[in-house]
């Protein structure tokens, strides 16, 4: 690391842009959260902590946090597991490996909300192919978008379809950069594929696992576009995530001041949760002595 007066030239342009375009709006949101900007009272007045008090007992808001937690849990779990599995399959030389890799990377590159709209037609109960195909196997059609659990599943399915490829590519890159020595040692020890995985591959991949999980958790916590396109948080509020709720409250109902306070609460909770998760995972996978900050 060098210290030099040139260092500022490198960092500051980006930092400035970020501060102007994200920090300012953030500060403004904090100010908004103390105002009662509503459909009839546009403008920044001051209502003290009233918004926060209301937020603490807002059932819809906390429900959406619960729904978000469940969705993110299942999405990331499946994406990680499937992504890892696919990466392992394509790690060593495979016939048409290049073809599969290219194919598998496509879902994460295409516009999520546009594909969600296509998926919506697929999930259509009477006119869509999914129920049609299930019928071929004698399975009754599932009310994909009109009942709580199937709707939840369909959102998770679309998210998994889209983002497993991200986990796949990250984990594959990680696998390909692993050193050879431990494997040679394991082979000498006569370890089978499962033991090799558990004792060699997985521990070596720990930092990458953490990185990939944290990245995916951050992105999936913003789950909103898929829901916007497919279920509009329905049926009832079965698929209502916090992002979607914030959108409705602020832009459809115009409770701008109140939603700002919800946003603040949400941000604080999320930052703490993610930081905690990263730390705990680090400890668990890497061990106390090697844990990074």
Partner 1 sequence: MKPKLLLAAGALGVASLIAVGGVSSASADTDYIAKYGIKADVPGMCSYSSIDAKDYTGHEITILTHAVPVMGEPAALHSKQFAELTGGTVNVVHAPFGELYQKVMIPFQTGQHVYDVVYGGSYWIGDWAPHLAPVPQKYLDLAEMKDATAAYQGVASWRGERLQYTVDGDRHYFKYVRPPFEDAENQAKFKAQYGRDLEVPTTWEEYAEVATFFNGWDWDGDGELEYGSTEIVQRDNIAFSNFITRVAAYAKNPNVTGGFWFDLDTMTPQVNNPGFVKGLEMWMAALEYMPPGGINFGIAEEIFSWGGGQSLMSVTWDDAFIQAMQEDSPIRNKILVGTKYGASMGSNKVWNRVTNKWDEFETPSVAPYVAWGWGAGVSKYSQEQEMAFDWFCFFSNYANTNHDLLIGRFGVNPFRTSHMDPAYWEKEAGWNNDVAVSYTNMLKSMDTSTNRVFDLRVPGVNQYYTAMMASVSKAMAGEMSAQAALDEVAAEWSRITERIGVDVVREAYKNVVALEDNVPLSAVK
Partner 2 sequence: MRGARVNLYSGLKYGALIIWAVFVVAPFLWALSTSFKSDNGVTGGATYIPFLEYEPSLEGWAALFRDTSSGGISMQGPYLASLIVSIVSSGIALTLGTLAAYGLSRFTFRAGPLRNSDITFFFISQRIMPPAILAIPYFLLLQFTGLLDTHVGLILVYVAMLLPIVVWVMVDFFNTVPTELDEAAMIDGCNPIQAFYRIILPNCAPGLVVAGLLCIIFSWSEFFFALTLSFAKVQMLPPTIVILNSNKVPWWSLSASALVSVVPLVIVAFFLERYLSRGNLAGIIRE
Question: Which residues of this protein are in contact with partner 1, per CB under 8 A?
Answer: 36, 38-40, 42, 60, 124-126, 141, 143, 145-148, 232-238, 248, 251-255
CB 169 within 8 A of CB 105: yes
Least Å distance, CB 173 to partner 2, is 3
Q: Which does 125 bind (CB under 5 to 8 A by kind): partner 2, partner 1, none?
A: partner 1
Residue 170 or 246 with smaller CB distance to partner 1: 246
Least Å distance, CB 78 to partner 1, is 25
Cα→Cα distances 27→54, 56, 108, 230, 257, Å: 21, 21, 33, 33, 13
Least Å distance, CB 74 to partner 1, is 21
Helix (H/G/I), strand (E/B), else coil: 60:
helix
Residue 29 or 237 with smaller CB distance to partner 2: 29
Nearest-angstrom CA–CA distance, 133 and 116: 19
Residue 96 or 198 with smaller CB distance to partner 2: 96
Residue 186 or 245 with smaller CB distance to partner 1: 245
Least Å distance, CB 91 to partner 2, is 11
Q: Which does 61 bind (CB under 5 to 8 A by kind): partner 1, partner 2, none?
A: none
Residue 135 or 187 with smaller CB distance to partner 1: 135
Q: How far is CA 43 from the centre of its chain?
A: 34
Least Å distance, CB 25 to partner 2, is 3
Residue 147 or 219 with smaller CB distance to partner 2: 219
Nearest-angstrom CA–CA distance, 88 and 106: 18
Nearest-angstrom CA–CA distance, 116 and 112: 6
CB 125 within 8 A of CB 145: yes
Q: Which does 134 bind (CB under 5 to 8 A by kind): partner 1, partner 2, none?
A: none
Identify which of 288, 254, 235 has the alpha carbon closest to the alpha carbon of residue 40: 254
Least Å distance, CB 188 to partner 1, is 60
Q: Which does 203 bind (CB under 5 to 8 A by kind): partner 2, partner 1, none?
A: none
Rg (CA), the chain: 23
Helix or strand (DSSP H, E) at 231: none
Place of tokens 């997985």: 202
């Amino acid at each position: 690391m060098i210290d030099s007066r040139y260092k500022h030239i490198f960092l500051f342009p980006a930092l400035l842009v970020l501060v102007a375009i994200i920090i300012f709006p953030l500060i403004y949101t904090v100010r908004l959260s103390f105002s009662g900007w509503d459909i009839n009272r546009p403008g920044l007045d001051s209502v003290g902590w009233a918004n926060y008090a209301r937020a603490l007992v807002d059932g819809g808001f906390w429900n959406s946090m619960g729904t978000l937690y469940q969705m993110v849990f299942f999405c990331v779990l499946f994406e990680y597991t499937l992504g890892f599995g696919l990466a392992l399959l394509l790690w060593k030389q495979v016939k048409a490996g290049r073809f599969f890799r290219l194919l598998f990377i496509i879902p994460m590159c295409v516009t999520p909300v546009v594909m969600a709209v296509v998926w919506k037609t697929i999930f259509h109960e009477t006119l869509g192919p999914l129920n049609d195909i299930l019928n071929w196997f004698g399975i009754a059609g599932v009310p994909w978008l009109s009942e709580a659990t199937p709707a939840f599943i369909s959102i998770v399915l679309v998210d998994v379809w889209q983002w497993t490829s991200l986990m796949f590519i990250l984990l594959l890159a990680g696998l390909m950069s692993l050193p050879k020595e431990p494997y040679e040692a394991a082979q000498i020890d006569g370890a089978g594929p499962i033991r090799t995985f558990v004792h060699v591959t997985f521990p070596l991949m720990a930092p990458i696992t953490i990185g990939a999980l944290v990245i995916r958790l951050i992105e999936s916590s913003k789950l909103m576009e898929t829901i916007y396109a497919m279920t509009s948080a329905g049926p009832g509020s079965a698929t209502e995530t916090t992002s979607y709720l914030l959108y409705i409250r602020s832009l459809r109902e115009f409770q701008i001041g109140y939603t700002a306070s919800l946003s603040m609460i949400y941000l604080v909770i999320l930052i703490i949760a993610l930081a905690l998760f990263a730390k705990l995972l680090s400890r668990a996978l890497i061990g106390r002595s090697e844990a990074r900050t």
